[in-house]
């Protein structure tokens, strides 16, 4: 294996798949899986074959109307994962300079390394709530920048980037002839204010998303890219490298899900509303953690004020059977990510265990600093 291939690994996804499960698994970031029985899916309405050459027309139409764009702007993909892969391989060539937020979702970096891009970073600072700083972005964009990459909502912090900020970011990118890719997989987990896809801010915006995170529908892998038609044609060519025809029953179930999106949205809003109240009460009671109250999305990303966060995460895992994502996967070793989108009993139980583990950790850390 060459060095560049050795780098192109998502250590986070490997960890999430192999090591994250626990009795209280708060390492997840998607709304609790929606049972199939909650959708009006009848086996006699499903067929194994019947997709179109470039997407299933009823699905493409629904994705287009959901995003308020013509069908020519839509590529259907297997989740946001494939959407990001397709979008980045269409937009970036070996050696291109790409400016990526830090911290970020690490498969985005892995794909860029795989392509052979020159990756530069702009910082989203912990002490600024991980908000996008336009000054920082302006300092980091260069005439060589071909693409700016960010997530809205932000993973891991769930910070929301408003339209004004995105518009300015887009203008900075456009000035040097760069595009801007916004991964919006968590955007629909915003309930208390209106939101709109960044695609509407200009032709240089490309967005990716799916029904996975906000609707609990990871299993049907319904993702999409919204981009200019000329890019969409290139992206369908890249889809050709990966499969000839899509999983048709999944496309049909996605159509049914999109026909019942209001129901799925209310389900998600109820669950997240209940769990967010628990998380905010927990945060209010935890002086040992530095984290603003949760308002959006499915995760929080607290900073541990005392001791090493990785040791705390290990203690939590080993002695309390509770799993959170170590901040090292987001290049923030003093933080850890807590998911609030699981079953309420799991979230409640997990938070109680984090509280107990923090108490234990304080005693151990206090004892070891006294011993030094």
Ligand X SMILES: Cc1ncc(COP(=O)(O)O)c(C=O)c1O
CA angle 137, 141, 142 (to 5 degrees): 160
Tell me: does residue 223 bind ligand X (CB under 6 A).
yes
Q: For residue 353, give Cα distances in angstroms to 150, 208, 319, 345, 358.
A: 33, 35, 9, 12, 8
Strand 97-102 to 118-123 pairing: parallel
Strand 205-210 to 179-183 pairing: parallel
- How near is the Cβ of 286 to ligand X at its closest, in Å? 24
Sheet holding 336-339, edge to edge: 299-300, 336-339, 325-326
- How near is the Cβ of 219 to ligand X at its closest, in Å? 10
Task: State which of positions 304-323 bind ligand X (CB under 6 A).
Answer: none
Q: Among 10, 51, 126, 155, which residue interacts with ligand X (rule: CB under 6 A)?
A: 155
- How near is the Cβ of 183 to ligand X at its closest, in Å? 5
CA angle 246, 222, 8 (to 5 degrees): 85
- How near is the Cβ of 32 to ligand X at its closest, in Å? 14
Q: Among 97, 101, 106, 183, which residue interacts with ligand X (rule: CB under 6 A)?
A: 183
Q: For residue 173, give Cα distances in angstroms to 74, 99, 180, 195, 335.
A: 22, 10, 7, 22, 30
Which listed range, 74-82, 135-143, 267-275, 345-353, lies at the site for ligand X (CB under 6 A)?
74-82
> Is residue 325 within 8 Å of residue 105, measured between CB atoms?
no
Tell me: does residue 130 bind ligand X (CB under 6 A).
no
Q: Among 118, 165, 218, 269, which residue interacts with ligand X (rule: CB under 6 A)?
A: 218
What is the SS3 assignment for 68? coil
Tell me: does residue 326 bind ligand X (CB under 6 A).
no
> Is residue 54 within 8 Å of residue 236, measured between CB atoms?
yes
Which listed range, 75-83, 266-274, 276-284, 357-365, lies at the site for ligand X (CB under 6 A)?
75-83
Tell me: does residue 212 bind ligand X (CB under 6 A).
yes
Tell me: does residue 252 bind ligand X (CB under 6 A).
no
Widest pairwise Cα distance in the chain: 70
- How near is the Cβ of 177 to ligand X at its closest, in Å? 26
Tell me: does residue 251 bind ligand X (CB under 6 A).
no
Tell me: does residue 341 bind ligand X (CB under 6 A).
no
**Residue nearest ligand X (C-beta atom):** 79
Q: x/- contact string, 81-120, with ligand X (CB under 6 A)?
A: x-----------------------x---------------
- Residue 80 or 102 having the CB closest to ligand X: 80
For 232, what's the count of Cα atoms within 13 Å in the CB-facing half-sphere? 22
Measured CA to CA, the distance from residue 196 to residue 289 in angstroms comes to: 32
- How near is the Cβ of 154 to ligand X at its closest, in Å? 8
Phi, psi of 155 (to 5 degrees): -105, 120
Task: State which of positions 5-64 bind ligand X (CB under 6 A).
Answer: 29
Q: By CB under 6 A, name the binding residues for ligand X.
A: 29, 79-81, 105, 151, 155, 183, 185, 210, 212, 218, 223
């Amino acid at each position: 294996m060459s060095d560049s291939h050795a780098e192109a690994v998502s250590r986070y996804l490997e960890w999430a798949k192999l090591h994250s499960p626990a009795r209280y698994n708060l390492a997840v970031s998607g709304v609790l899986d929606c049972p199939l029985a909650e959708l009006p899916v009848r086996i006699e309405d499903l067929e194994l074959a019947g997709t179109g050459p470039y997407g299933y027309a009823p699905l493409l139409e629904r994705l287009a109307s959901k995003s308020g764009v013509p069908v020519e702007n839509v590529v259907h993909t297997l989740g946001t994962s494939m959407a990001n892969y397709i979008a980045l391989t269409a937009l970036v060539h070996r050696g291109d300079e790409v400016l990526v937020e830090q911290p970020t979702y690490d498969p985005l970096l892995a794909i860029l390394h795989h392509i052979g891009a020159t990756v530069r970073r702009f910082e989203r600072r912990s002490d600024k709530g991980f908000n996008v700083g336009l000054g920082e972005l302006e300092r980091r964009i260069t005439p060589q920048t071909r693409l700016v990459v960010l997530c809205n909502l932000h993973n891991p912090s769930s910070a929301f980037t408003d339209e004004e900020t995105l518009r300015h970011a887009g203008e900075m990118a456009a000035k040097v002839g760069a595009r801007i890719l916004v991964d919006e997989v968590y955007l629909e987990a915003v309930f208390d204010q209106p939101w709109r896809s960044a695609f509407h801010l200009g032709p240089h915006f490309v967005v990716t998303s799916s029904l996975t995170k906000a609707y609990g529908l990871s299993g049907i892998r319904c993702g999409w890219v919204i981009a200019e038609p000329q890019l969409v044609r290139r992206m369908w060519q890249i889809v050709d490298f990966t499969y000839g025809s899509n999983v048709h029953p999944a496309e049909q179930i996605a159509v049914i899900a999109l026909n019942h999106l209001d129901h799925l949205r209310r389900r998600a809003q109820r669950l997240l509303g209940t769990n967010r109240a628990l998380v905010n009460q927990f945060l209010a009671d935890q002086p040992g953690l530095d984290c603003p109250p949760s308002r959006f999305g499915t995760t929080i990303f607290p900073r541990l004020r005392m001791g090493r966060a990785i040791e705390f995460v290990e203690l939590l895992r080993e002695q309390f059977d509770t799993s959170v994502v170590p901040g090292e996967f987001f290049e923030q070793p003093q933080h850890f990510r807590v998911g609030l989108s699981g079953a309420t009993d799991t979230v409640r139980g997990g938070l109680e265990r984090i509280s107990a583990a923090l108490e234990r950790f304080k005693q151990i850390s206090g004892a070891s600093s006294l011993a030094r």
